[in-house]
Structure 1
Amino acid sequence: MFFTRKIKENAPRKLLFIFEFLAVVLLLIYQEKIPDSRTILSAMALLIMVYLSNFILRKVSSGDNYIFQIATMLVSIGAIMIYRMDSLLGTKQLIWIAIGILFFYITYFLLKYIKIWSKLTYLYIAITYILFMLTLVLGQRKNGSINWIEIKGISIQPGEVIKILLIFIIAGFYSNYDKFKEKKYPSYIFLGVIYSFIGLLFLQRDLGMALMFYGIFICLQYIFEEDRKLILYNIGLFGVSSILGYFLFSHVRIRIETWINPWKFISDKGYQITQSLFALSEGGFFGKGLGLGYPHFIPLAYNDFIFSAIVEEMGIFTGIGIIMLFLILFYRGFKIGMNQRKKFYKILALGISVLFCIQTFIIIGGVIKLIPLTGITLPFVSYGGSSLVTSFIALGILQVTSEDLESKVKICEEENSNE
């Protein structure tokens, strides 16, 4: 019985290793030149990092280890595709993966062994406002938005950190709802705080992040808010904000126009989305083969449009596989949230799951022309340091919430009392 359980526990990790090994071999075969030492070392580093990180997690965590395996599967697909398009970016992505995994474990241990996180709501709000102010003062405009800060050649996107803080703020508020109810109109004040964040995102013209903030807030508000009228107010404010965004910002109007009819603007502002659609159609069911497509025809193929590049070379079935991996991640995340007994951790788990769900829908929906483009990254797959590291931090939070913290505390207390 133990032997059978051991095989079942190790099977996913071994299958993940086999998949990565075959993908790396295929990538090396399709290299136009003989692989150099950097390429071989990068391939070995990816295999070792993913295998060891999954092995260690099984030793230290009693929670849901499959969510980390899903994430490393997505990371591997993204890293291989990025390296295929640009070996220098691929090497940088491996470094970011290592940093992301490190932050995953740091987050996991901090959240697991420090118990005061539910009491720091005001601190989270203060840090959020500080990060917004720093972005407005020091930020640089990219693609119409002011959402990047450059420090000694390293670009940082504070919004990626703020979206994690938003979930902590919401969790802190609703887990201490009885205490906040002692004040007048607590839910209305809280609504004002959240919309002040969205207003600051409007000032930065980062409407993709604003949409994500709204999605996270409305989902958690729907679950935990006692005053149901506030949900209707929230929906109404979202409608007004959307209309204002369309008329105030030219780049929003451009994205709407290219979403409705990109072929009319194929030579200029509709070029990116049309090339994405060409790539999706060229791939067919099984793809043109790793290294045989033309992803460089798509601007920012390694970032916003990596899903299209993957489908072109690996096929629609691989694209469906990526979507299914995300669906399993969402399902397990929501299941963790529903089973978690402690309210603060329950809201964290549901918030992280909603975050991954909304972000994935927005970017994949954008590149297949289901919804207008918003310029955000695909979690774990796209190139980028800030996005990748914060995705691993979010995953570390979800990993902790998958452990039954409350029951473990009770068991420890009972053991101490018996002694």
Structure 2
Amino acid sequence: MFKRLFSFKVPQNLLFLLNLLSLSLVILYNKSFDRLSIGVAVGLPLIIYISNLLLLKVSSGDHYLLLIVSMMMSLGILMIYRINPELGFKQVIWYMVGIITFYATYFIVKRITLWEKGMGLYIGLSFLLFLSTLIFGKTINGSTNWIKISGYSFQPSEIIKILFVFFLASYFVNRDKFENKYILSVIVYAHIGFLFIQRDLGSAMLFYMVFLVIFYVYENDRKFILLNLFSASLMAMLGYFAFSHVQVRVETWLNPWEDISGKGYQITQSLFAIAEGGFLGSGIGNGYPTFIPEVQTDFIFSAICEEMGVLTGIAVIMLFLILIYRGIKIALEQRNQFFRIVALGITATLGFQAFIILGGVTKLIPLTGVTLPFLSYGGSSLIMSFASLGVLQVASEYIYVEQEEDYEHGTEEDN
């Protein structure tokens, strides 16, 4: 045990050392030797190390999920702290809250066994949150998707993402009792409709892509799937002609150079930053990521590429691919159908969200207002991402338990 704590063959130990060194370099660059900076440099690596070590003790499931996310968080906090030390400190606080949320979600979901029977509850809570957003919501950047309480803002749609996945899983588990794909479609399109009303088209796209993945896997009527794809195309056209800011984003995507100092400023600065970094980057503190508006949220990937290099950007993409691989592996091996669908849905949510924002900042697709999971600055998005990870951790543990039970049962039969 003593050797394990100091062995560099253990990923947690190596990650602790890398965090300690990288944050120390940022502090040296900023020449900020106050208690706050020292606390971040020492506290963050300790939080990451202890949280991963604790998981080894309490869970028999997949121990790589939290480790992968910890690597993402390390890069995100490092870059945010370099851009703005105050925001970096706040992100460390949000990270601590996220870790607490992860473990709280893990223990709650693990203890309760009636999740597949709560379809009506998931629908009701989702619509209640949607209505609350419409009534009390605050418009930011053209989308009415924020609620502000006592000076703190949060996005109800972040909570609805998990409820939506739970609803789909509950429906397909219980569809032998009341299967009706048309009612399912009405409920799903109601979710999309609320997001359209809020002008939150990035989340609408995300919800629909998650629905299509689960629907494609578990629905046998291929004609109905094609009908839904056709409906998605109509909704995309409707969104384009109904909302002027969508037209602006599409036009900016097609030709950002036409108005480089106006509408195309954000995306062109993102492309300049990525190109300026080259393969190895300009070095921490030697770039100009603050030239990009909202760099700490929507464009954190561009900032990472500029100062840490395109190779680090590729590493970020690889981390997401590994996370998606682990999630799909959990879904494929899961015996419990409800958690199998939930694992697939959460994996699809994280994967598509990463694709939407990474595609947007690199001009692969039109830019939408979603954050990069575990890397962008934010509160509600980060906390609910950790909640999703906690659910996925439970799903991975169920795999382990059921496989061991099957093994023991097979051994008894052989005897």
Classify the TM-score, shorter chain: over 0.9
- Structure 1 residue 12: deviation in Å? 1.1
Seen in structure 2, the aligned counterparts of structure 1 residues 103 and 341 have a Cα distance that, compared at 3 Å, is same
Q: AA paired with 1:30?
A: Y
Seen in structure 2, the aligned counterparts of structure 1 residues 125 and 411 have a Cα distance that, compared at 3 Å, is farther
Are 1:251 and 2:245 an aligned pair?
yes
CA contact (8 A) 2:6 2:13 kept: no
- Structure 1 residue 230: deviation in Å? 1.9
Q: AA paired with 1:226?
A: N
Are 1:16 and 2:9 an aligned pair?
no
Where does residue 131 of structure 2 map in the other structure?
133
Q: Deviations over 1:105-164 (max 9, x none)?
A: 011011111101111010000000000000000111111110001111100100111111
Q: Please, what is the CA RMSD of the aligned residues? A: 2.1
Q: AA paired with 1:102?
A: I
TM-score in terms of structure 1 length: 0.94
Are 1:291 and 2:289 an aligned pair?
no
CA contact (8 A) 1:146 1:204 kept: yes
- Structure 1 residue 269: deviation in Å? 1.1
Out of 290, 309, 312, the residue aligned to residue 306 of structure 2 is 312
Out of 216, 219, 225, the residue aligned to residue 213 of structure 2 is 219
CA contact (8 A) 2:7 2:13 kept: no
CA contact (8 A) 2:266 2:293 kept: yes
Where does residue 235 of structure 2 map in the other structure?
241
Where does residue 85 of structure 2 map in the other structure?
87
- Structure 1 residue 229: deviation in Å? 2.3
Where does residue 97 of structure 1 map in the other structure?
95
Out of 347, 361, 368, the residue aligned to residue 367 of structure 1 is 361
Seen in structure 2, the aligned counterparts of structure 1 residues 335 and 26 have a Cα distance that, compared at 3 Å, is same
Inter-partner Cα distance in structure 2 for 1:62 and 1:135: 39
Q: SS of 2:153's equivalent? A: strand
Q: AA paired with 2:26?
A: L
Where does residue 413 of structure 2 map in the other structure?
none
Q: SS of 2:370's equivalent? A: coil
Structure 2 gaps, min length 5? 410-415
Where does residue 26 of structure 1 map in the other structure?
25
Structure 1 gaps, min length 5? 414-419
Seen in structure 2, the aligned counterparts of structure 1 residues 15 and 377 have a Cα distance that, compared at 3 Å, is same
- Structure 1 residue 177: deviation in Å? 1.6
Where does residue 45 of structure 1 map in the other structure?
43
- Structure 1 residue 76: deviation in Å? 1.0
Out of 112, 119, 122, the residue aligned to residue 120 of structure 2 is 122
Q: SS of 2:380's equivalent? A: helix
1:18-417 matches, within 5 Å, as 18-31=17-30, 33-181=31-179, 186-403=180-397, 404-406=400-402
Q: AA paired with 2:200?
A: D
Seen in structure 2, the aligned counterparts of structure 1 residues 6 and 24 have a Cα distance that, compared at 3 Å, is closer
Q: Deviations over 1:350-378 (max 9, x none)?
A: 11111111000000000000000001000
Q: AA paired with 2:273?
A: A
Q: AA paired with 1:270?
A: G
- Between Structure 1 and Structure 2, how many residues are aligned? 408
Q: AA paired with 2:309?
A: G
Q: Deviations over 1:33-87 (max 9, x none)?
A: 3421110011211111100000000000011110110001101110111011111
Inter-partner Cα distance in structure 2 for 1:91 and 1:409: 45
CA contact (8 A) 2:273 2:302 kept: yes
Inter-partner Cα distance in structure 2 for 1:10 and 1:62: 20
CA contact (8 A) 2:5 2:13 kept: no
Q: AA paired with 1:350?
A: L
Inter-partner Cα distance in structure 2 for 1:274 and 1:320: 20
Inter-partner Cα distance in structure 1 for 2:406 and 2:332: 20
Inter-partner Cα distance in structure 2 for 1:220 and 1:15: 37
CA contact (8 A) 2:61 2:396 kept: yes
CA contact (8 A) 1:342 1:405 kept: no
CA contact (8 A) 2:133 2:156 kept: yes
Seen in structure 2, the aligned counterparts of structure 1 residues 127 and 10 have a Cα distance that, compared at 3 Å, is farther
Inter-partner Cα distance in structure 2 for 1:205 and 1:34: 41
TM-score in terms of structure 2 length: 0.95
Seen in structure 2, the aligned counterparts of structure 1 residues 20 and 9 have a Cα distance that, compared at 3 Å, is closer
